[in-house]
Amino acid sequence: YIVTNNHVVGNADTVKVTFEDGSTETADVVGTSPGYDLAVIKVDASGLPASTLGVSDQVNVGDTAIAIGSPLGLQGTVTTGIISSLDRPVTAGDGGADASYINALQTDAAINPGNSGGPLVDGEGRVIGVNSAIANLGSSLGGQAGSIGLGFAIPIDTVKRISTEIIDTGDSQTPIIGANIDNRYDGEGAQVGEVTAGGPADKAGLENGDIITAVDGRTVADFTELVVAIRDKGVGDDVTLTVDRGGDESEITVTLGASSE
């Protein structure tokens, strides 16, 4: 099994994998998760070396970060830097149903088009993330600009959870609170537009018009920060939402439901 980005695989059923020794194999696409920008493919081969996985929850700002990939088609390129930020809310893709919301590790290791799907490793060579997106001077993510020291990787803890689901079932589940968010709201937090009847939020007592300002104590400034905070959890997890209802603040515990991708 090989993990890469969903935007690398696209809508393909099979892809060609080239190994370091120049040999190639045809890989079947086991499954994808557009929301997390992850895909799992499988080759019919044995004896392949496997990377050692780290724990992204133990990563700190300032830690060594090394990106491996084929930027601009230059196979086997290694670039180095540090972890610049943790839990960076990033939206990648073309928007709409194909948008990915990433609770990202940010690094200043040079990442360019062609690094996508490659590993971000720590100073001991353990994989701590999967390179996914870059910022460009146009302030959009996932574009084709060169590196300006703003690269983003999907944390390996999230990768392990999603890839295991895909390997086991061919699919993945996206955690949801069961409410639509009002995109017209431009204040601090994320305002609930409509609570889904009978869904997790409804059962927990969330109401239309409530403003969610934090998830498990993590401040939520806008819609994107709410989505990445929820998607950092797993289906069935309990999360505590800090809610502003008409000026009165309270906490509501929601058991996350599932949306299959």
DSSP string, 158-220: HHHHHHHHHHHHS--EEEE-SEEE-TT--SSSEEEEEEPTTSHHHHHT--TT-EEEEETTEE-
pLDDT of residue 230: 94
The set of residues, in sequence order, having a beta carbon less than 8 Å from that of 12 and lying 6+ positions away, is 29
Angstrom distance (rounded) from CA 45 to CA 19: 11
Angstrom distance (rounded) from CA 217 to CA 239: 10
Q: Which residues are registered as beta bridge partners of 102?
A: 90
Exposed (0-12), middle (13-18) or buried (19+): which is 119, by Cβ within 10 Å?
Answer: buried
pLDDT of residue 139: 47
pLDDT of residue 63: 98
* DSSP SS3 for 224: helix
Distance from CA of residue 252 to its chain's centroid? Answer: 25
pLDDT of residue 21: 86
Buried b (16+ CB within 10 A) or exposed e, 220-234: bebbbbbbbbbbbbe
Tens-digit pLDDT string for the chain (261 aa): 999 999 999 899 999 999 888 899 999 999 999 999 999 999 999 889 899 999 999 999 999 999 999 998 898 899 999 999 999 999 876 555 567 889 999 999 999 989 999 999 999 999 999 999 888 665 445 555 567 889 999 999 999 999 999 999 998 889 999 999 998 999 999 999 999 999 999 999 999 999 999 999 999 999 999 999 999 999 999 999 999 999 999 999 999 999 855
The set of residues, in sequence order, having a beta carbon less than 8 Å from that of 185 and lying 6+ positions away, is 191, 211
What is the amino acid identity at position 157? D
Q: Closest by alpha carbon to 128, among 150, 108, 158, 155?
A: 155
pLDDT of residue 148: 84
Angstrom distance (rounded) from CA 203 to CA 225: 23
pLDDT of residue 259: 82
Angstrom distance (rounded) from CA 23 to CA 240: 50
* DSSP SS3 for 48: coil
What is the amino acid identity at position 195? V
Active-site annotation, residues: 7, 37, 116
